[in-house]
Amino acid sequence: MTGMSEQPVPFDHDEPGFVRWLDENPGCYVLNGELIHNATCQCLRSVGKPMTERYPKFCARTRAALEQKCRDYQGKEARICQCPLRAASSR
């Protein structure tokens, strides 16, 4: 994991940085809206358009950090991605 603290790292209008983070941190997590994905989840890459333009993505080493970020940022409880497109290594 590169440059990771316990605090979620925001990616806002930074598509190259976000994609690089996904590639460099396969064992970590991403908060997308109120949904937490494994960094290897293919639904993060299957959109086909910039993912950090509409609203920021938050990335962290732990799900707990992103669950707290979701409560703080959106006032909601996070949900966990159940997408069947997750990479086999994250199952």
Residue 89 binned pLDDT confidence (cut-offs 50, 70, 90): very low
Residue 40: what are its φ and ψ, rounded to 5°?
A: -90, 0
Residue 87 or residue 77, greater confidence:
77
The Cα–Cα gap between 17 and 88 comes to 24
Task: Find out whether 29 and 87 touch, Cβ atoms under 8 Å.
Answer: no
pLDDT tens per residue, range 1-60? 444 457 999 999 999 999 999 999 999 999 999 999 999 988 887 667 788 988 899 999
CA–centroid distance for 68 within its chain: 14
pLDDT for residue 84 = 62
The Cα–Cα gap between 76 and 53 comes to 21
